[in-house]
Amino acid sequence: MTDAAVVGTGPNGLAAAVTLARAGLQVALFEKADTIGGGLRTAPLFDSDVVHDICSAVHPMAAASTFFRAFDLGARGVRLLQPGMPYAHPLPDGRAAAAWRDIARTAEGLGADGPRWTRLMAPLAERSGAVVDLVLSSQRSLPRDLTAAVLLASRALAHGTARTPFATEEARALLTGVAAHAVGKLPSPTSAVVALLLGHAAHSSGWPLAEGGSARIADALAADIIAHGGTIHTGHHVRDLAELGDVPLVMLDISPKEFLAAAGQRMPSRYARALRRYRYGPGAAKADFLVSEPIPWANPLVRQAGTVHLGGTHSDIVRQETATAAGRAVPDPFVLVVDPAVTDPSRAASGRRPVWAYAHVPHGDERDPTDLIRRRIEEYAPGFSDTIVASRGLPAAQYEEYNPNYVGGDIAAGAMTLRQSLARPVARWDPYRTPLPGVYLCSASTPPGPSVHGMCGYLAARSALRTRYGLRTPPDLSPKPKERV
């Protein structure tokens, strides 16, 4: 007998299934695609010896979240490889700023702004676990570490406005590039929290890549589910919740849009109206390149970075992101670039290597981003075009076809506004529990939102275990096998 069904096998669906299976439930997972993983898929695109991360490539929160700390990827054979320089930001005039794991080294490279960067990031890095746990929570309880909360809140208030404490363009651009990961209007309180979360993580738990590709994380989660009696069904699109039969517990790693379609007339009208008001944000357009050599960044410093932000100056990024959030296409969008082989040499084979890149574009943008992204990289790495062996682009409008959670190309699964960060997807004390008996949402459209941290699934599963089975103590997620109950 199946005790719980999980629809969707992205990191949150997998995390929910792990948690439920560890609590002793018989779990069945259903995935529309032919492979599991959602944002954690890795596959060869042009050369059988070279694999590309189809969605996410770098995983700061997989190294930091409560769920993954308990799950312990390293003990399961998944190596999270850390670049010494988590990210870099080249400027149009040839200068570049770099964030090293070592905060003192970062400060040294920022000159006059070095002490200011240290004062901003060091206190957060010193209490990193508490800061991460605060942000990656359900946002429904008082923080356990009030000092960490005050440190984060005071800094977010200061950096959530147009004011900046930095005197140099290097430091301003370095922080604003991280804030742009919020994919929305800049500046904002939400982007400030994202900048501080990811910014301090670079100096603490890091911005790692999974050796061999992001799918290694999904594979480890799936292996644990199967080891605890779970089953996984791929190529199975659950279009109607009635297809699941009388399963007493259903966890949905899907968007509010897809939930509305699958629930149909069973959805209470008030809750349905609230879900219809849920807003989706700007899109991400993806380009994958197969290249013959490392990206020839004009500034040699940038060649050591795990992630590179291409946006120009602080004011350039604010202009780009604000216009994109308003639905206006810009000729010079913000672009994130990763050459995985810089951190994981095993990703290069036979003189070929992958390059991963995203551009932030308006919601539902239909343009093929390949040439746009190529030109943006070429601006900072002359000669890059000559290294390209093959390429492909995925417009924002097509991302929803690949993954229905990415409505209009919104890989954050919902606009990252202050209101939607707190009331995600609707204003309810328990955001995971729906009005349908036994049905819970566990996608990135619930708190704490996007990124590969598993916390939406973990927190939703804990809500279900508490409300339906009275289990308030979370199950053991460690690699040590546990007897089924």
Q: CA neighbours within 13 Å on the CB side: how many for 111? A: 11
What's the rounded mean pLDDT across residues 131-143? Answer: 91
Average pLDDT over residues 357-368: 97
Q: What is the DSSP letter of 335?
A: E
Percent residues over pLDDT 70 in the chain: 98
Among 58, 24, 54, 50, residue whose Cα is nearest residue 36: 54
| pLDDT category of residue 485 using cuts at 50, 70 and 90 | very low
Strands 80-81 and 27-30: unpaired
What is the phi/psi pair of residue 221, to 5°? -65, -45
pLDDT confidence of residue 161: 59
Mean pLDDT of 208-233: 98
pLDDT exceeds 90 at position 158 = no
**284 three-class SS:** strand
Range from 113-117, 160-164, 180-184 carrying the lowest mean pLDDT: 160-164
Residue 326 main-chain phi, psi, to 5 deg = -85, 0
- Residue 163's pLDDT band, with cuts at 50, 70 and 90, is low
Q: Which amino acid is at 306?
A: G
CA-CA distance, 279 to 314, in Å (whole number)?
27
Higher-scoring residue by pLDDT: 454, 160: 454
Specify the pLDDT at position 361: 98
pTM: 0.96
- Mean model confidence pLDDT for the chain: 95
Burial pattern 54-86, b for ≥16 Cβ within 10 A else e, equals bbbbbbbbbbbbbbbbbbebeeeebebbbbebb
pLDDT, tens digit (0-9, with 9 covering 90-100), for 236-269: 999 999 999 999 999 999 999 999 999 999 999 9
Cβ 160 vs Cβ 176: under 8 Å: no
Domain definitions of the chain by residue range: 4-58+212-279+412-469
Q: Which residues partner with 392 through β-bridges? A: 288
Q: How confident is the model at residue 162 (pLDDT cuts 50, 70, 90)?
A: low
Position with higher pLDDT, 157 vs 347? 347
Q: What is the pLDDT of residue 160?
A: 62
Query: 47-79, pLDDT tens digit by residue?
Result: 999 999 999 999 999 999 999 999 999 999 999
Distances (CA, A) of 272 to 131, 151, 265, 372: 34, 38, 10, 38
Are the C-beta atoms of residues 112 and 104 closer than 8 Å to each other? no
Coil, strand or helix at 302: helix
**pLDDT of 377 higher than 70:** yes
% of the chain exceeding 90 in pLDDT: 91
482 has pLDDT over 70: no
Contact call for residues 388 and 370 (beta carbons, < 8 A): no
Among candidates 315, 325, 307, 412, which has minimal Cα distance to 361?
325
Query: Which pLDDT does position 483 carry in this prediction?
Result: 41
The model's confidence at residue 328, banded by pLDDT at 50, 70 and 90, is very high
> Residues 351-369: what's their mean pLDDT?
97
**CA atoms of 266 and 150, how far apart (whole Å):** 43
Residue 442: closest CA among 231, 273, 258: 258
- What's the pLDDT at 174? 97
Rounded Cα distance, 214 and 357, in Å: 15
pLDDT value of position 164 = 73
Within 23-127, residue ranges assigned H as helices are 66-71, 103-109, 114-126
DSSP string, 111-135: GGGHHHHHHHHHHHHHTHHHHHHHH
Tell me the CATH number for domain 4-58+212-279+412-469: 3.50.50.60
| Site of tokens 């050591």 | 304
pLDDT of 106 above 90:
yes
- State the Cα–Cα distance between residues 20 and 32, nearest whole angstrom: 21
CB 445 within 8 Å of CB 413: yes
C-beta atoms surrounding 104 within 10 Å: 12
Given a cut of 90, is residue 80 above it in pLDDT? Answer: yes
Looking at residue 340, its amino acid is: P
From CA 172, how far away is CA 318, in angstroms rounded? 11
Closest CA to 196 of 161, 159, 170: 159
Reported as a single tens digit per residue, the pLDDT across 273-284 is: 999 999 999 999
Cα–Cα distance for residue pair 350/49, rounded to 1 Å: 8
Residue 479: alpha-carbon gap to chain centroid: 24
pLDDT bracket for residue 157 (50, 70, 90): confident
